[in-house]
């Protein structure tokens, strides 16, 4: 119905923007669910690995590692709670404001053929929805659809942040284990060399470090494979939504473009949706930035340790790890665009340019 309404108002610029206000999240949620469903089998090793990290015998539990994992899990929990709170507030304003006569969208005589009864979303149906109970049923279906769309937009991103932050915690634990492997009290190579008498035991420990590093790099590769196009869709949604919402807000504040003065609730709802969309992409970039910093920190952990006091046979374990960890592990949107704060600022700058073009064209 939204796509059909878009074809009907294609020659009306403001109505097209008003349609994209709701159709963009709809298309985004569909693509996100499609990519998540298609790559569900890829995430199985990542989920199993995360479960094994938490399910450990209490007698063998390292409380330092547990504290690091809890700290990153707490951050993911805060992100999820704040995300759901904001989306529920936006959903409540968007759904219940029209019931009190506060329409968020533009009412027109092209798709809204009923005189007094208007739907909350710009759509077109091949039946007369102005009569009861068809109107109530149509509104209920649209409200239910908006709820599912909000969930489909939020859940994949929260899942992505949780997995990325957990992997970041594992990189931090690996770096701490490497540093703690060496005796901090040794100040000379001879004292440090005496620590490596049991070569067989040290070989097993060093091999476990290498295996763990390879395992974490593989987990990052699987996460990127699963969420690469999901993050790309999120970036595209942010660009389109910021342009639409920004244009809509400026249009509501401009008396030459709107016949009626917008209410504070209308402006607040649109600004909340604008903040929510930008916050989603920001959190994804922050999580990917954290992963890059933690994975690159492994190189610093090895370099700052006393690895040079080891025998040459054991020193060879750390050299490949230093070479690999020198390049940070990053999640790339569409396997092209690295998710980082620099990328986010560049996207915001580009979006502001698109918005200025829309204002100039209108």
Average pLDDT for consecutive 10-residue bins of the chain (362 residues)?
A: 82 77 84 87 91 77 85 94 87 78 72 73 81 84 88 89 94 89 56 53 83 93 91 86 77 59 66 82 92 91 80 80 87 88 90 81 70
- The pLDDT, as a whole number, for residue 292 is 93
> Which residues make Cβ contacts (< 8 Å) with residue 19, sequence separation at least 6?
2, 5, 6, 9, 122
pTM of the model: 0.85
- The pLDDT, as a whole number, for residue 194 is 47
- The pLDDT, as a whole number, for residue 212 is 92
- Domain total in the chain: 1
Q: Which domain holds residue 357?
A: 2-361
Structure tokens at 309: 């006091």
Helix, coil or strand: residue 337: strand
**What are the φ and ψ backbone dihedral angles of 338, each rounded to 5 degrees?**
-70, 135
């Amino acid at each position: 119905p939204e796509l059909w309404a878009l074809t009907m108002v294609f020659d009306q610029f403001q109505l097209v923007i008003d349609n994209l206000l709701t159709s963009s999240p709809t298309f985004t949620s569909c693509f996100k669910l499609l990519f998540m469903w298609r790559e569900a089998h890829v995430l199985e090793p990542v989920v199993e690995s995360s479960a094994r990290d938490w399910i450990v015998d209490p007698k063998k539990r390292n409380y330092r590692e547990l504290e690091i994992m809890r700290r990153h899990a707490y951050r993911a929990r805060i992100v999820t709670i704040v995300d759901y709170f904001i989306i529920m507030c936006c959903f409540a304003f968007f759904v219940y404001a029209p019931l009190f006569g506060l329409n968020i969208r533009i009412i027109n005589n092209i798709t809204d053929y009923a005189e007094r009864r208007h739907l909350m979303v710009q759509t077109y149906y091949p039946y007369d929805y102005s009569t009861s109970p068809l109107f109530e049923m149509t509104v209920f279906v649209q409200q239910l659809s908006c709820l599912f769309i909000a969930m489909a937009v939020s859940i994949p991103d929260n899942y992505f942040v949780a997995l990325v932050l957990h992997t970041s915690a594992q990189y931090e634990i690996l770096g701490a284990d490497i540093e703690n492997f060496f005796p901090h009290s040794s100040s000379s190579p001879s004292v440090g060399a005496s620590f490596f008498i049991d070569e067989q035991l040290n070989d097993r420990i060093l091999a476990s470090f290498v295996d763990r590093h390879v395992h974490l790099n593989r987990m990052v590769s699987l996460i990127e494979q699963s969420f690469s196009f999901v993050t790309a869709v999120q970036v595209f949604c942010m660009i389109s939504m910021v342009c639409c919402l920004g244009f809509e807000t400026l249009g509501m504040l401009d008396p030459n473009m709107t016949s009626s003065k917008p209410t504070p609730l209308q402006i607040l709802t649109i600004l909340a949706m604008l903040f929510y969309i930008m916050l989603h992409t920001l959190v994804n970039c922050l999580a990917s930035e954290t992963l890059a910093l933690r994975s690159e920190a492994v190189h610093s952990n090895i370099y700052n340790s006393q690895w040079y006091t080891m025998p040459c046979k054991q020193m060879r374990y750390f050299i490949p790890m230093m070479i690999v960890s020198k390049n940070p592990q990053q999640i790339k949107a569409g396997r092209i665009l690295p998710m980082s704060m620099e990328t986010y600022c560049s996207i915001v700058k580009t979006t502001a340019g698109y918005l200025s073009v829309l204002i100039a064209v209108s």
